Amino acid sequence: MQHSDLLPLDGRVAVVTGASRGIGAAIARRLVRAGACVVIDYVSDDERAQQCARHIMDDCDAAGRVITCKADVTDAGQVRDMVSTTVTTFGGLDILVNNAFAHYSFDPRNRRTFDAIGWNNYAAQLEGCLKGAYNTCEAVLPQMRRQAGGRIINISSNLVDSPIVPYHDYTAAKGALVGFTRSLAQEAGAWGVTVNAIAAGLTVGTDSSRATTEDVREQIIKSTPMGRLATADDIAGAVAMLAGDDAAFITGQTLHVDGGLVMR
């Protein structure tokens, strides 16, 4: 009996939003390494997105399996165009990773307290996180239904369950994304589509961790059973797992990737 040399995601097509750097870029790289064709969505920096795509193709020997697509996820028209480009280029769309969110200043020392935050701040975070996910899901689900299958993975935060630093508007938007995940999973299961979320812990080397104070960093590490912060590759590995065949019967779940800081 011969064993297949196929990679876990061979023949699959993925869109990763906000993927030109940080966690998004790590997710794109991991999916390509697993055999998928990947669309790197980004909103503004053409050069950085192209450089990210080149690095991934070079590192993974994946010429022709990575493209960039400039699309603001809060703009439904741009998202539909991106999905159309994806299907035209690669012949389908199997995996959607909603990683993009509105710009946010993660700074424990200078964060806005509740009495300094207006509803417009909440609205901006909901626009980037929840509306962005709504737009992408609305655009990809018809294609996934035609294929009778797909994977949607939404990137949330463990701050929803453990708001060590109370970033009120950001955390509220990420919490709304978890509710959206569960509700959509309930309906999409009939179409062969799973919908899950990743609750990422504080991740080194990202915008969210850059201004983290040493005392907060040490508090998190001390409270984490694994004794360290998350890396972008930790998050990417969990996404690849949920995107693969071994997770075919997992839906509506929020997987905490934070070294055990939050246990449910």
CATH of the domain at 203: 3.40.50.720
E strand segments, 23-94: 37-42, 66-70
Determine, yes or no, domain membership for 247: yes
- Element (DSSP H or E) covering residue 113: none
Determine, yes or no, domain membership for 1: no
Concerning whether 170 is annotated as a catalytic residue, the answer is yes
Predicted local distance difference test score (pLDDT) of residue 264: 83
Give yes or no for a contact between 126 and 176, defined as CB atoms under 8 angstroms apart.
yes
Predicted local distance difference test score (pLDDT) of residue 225: 96
Helix and strand element counts for the chain (H, E): 9, 7
Range of the domain at 247: 13-257
Tell me, what DSSP letter sits at residue 153? E
Tell me, what DSSP letter sits at residue 249? T
Predicted local distance difference test score (pLDDT) of residue 263: 94
Predicted local distance difference test score (pLDDT) of residue 206: 72
How many Cβ atoms from other residues are within 10 Å of residue 198's Cβ?
Answer: 30
Identify the burial level of 111 via C-beta atoms within 10 angstroms of its C-beta, where 0-12 means exposed, 13-18 middle and 19 or more buried: middle
Q: Is 44 helix (H, G, I), strand (E, B) or coil?
A: coil
Determine, yes or no, domain membership for 24: yes
Determine, yes or no, domain membership for 7: no
SS3 per-residue string spanning the chain:
CCCCCCCCCCCCEEEECCCCCHHHHHHHHHHHHCCCEEEEEECCCHHHHHHHHHHHHHHHCCCCCEEEEECCCCCHHHHHHHHHHHHHHHCCCCEEEECCCCCCCCCCCCCCCHHHCCHHHHHHHHHHHHHHHHHHHHHHHHHHHHHCCEEEEEEEEHHHCCCCCCCHHHHHHHHHHHHHHHHHHHHHHHHCEEEEEEEECCECCCHHHHCCCHHHHHHHHHHCCCCCCECHHHHHHHHHHHHCHHHCCCCCCEEEECCCCCCC
What are the mean pLDDT values of the chain's consecutive 10-residue runs (264 residues total)? 72 97 96 98 95 96 95 98 98 97 83 93 96 98 97 97 93 98 98 98 76 83 95 97 97 98 92
Q: Which residue has the tokens 């876990």?
A: 8
* Choice among 42, 134, 167, 170 that is catalytic: 170
Predicted local distance difference test score (pLDDT) of residue 1: 40
Give yes or no for a contact between 23 and 203, defined as CB atoms under 8 angstroms apart.
yes
Predicted local distance difference test score (pLDDT) of residue 104: 84
Residues present in the chain in total: 264
Q: For all residues of the chain together, what is the average pLDDT?
A: 94
Number of domains in the chain: 1
Predicted local distance difference test score (pLDDT) of residue 109: 80
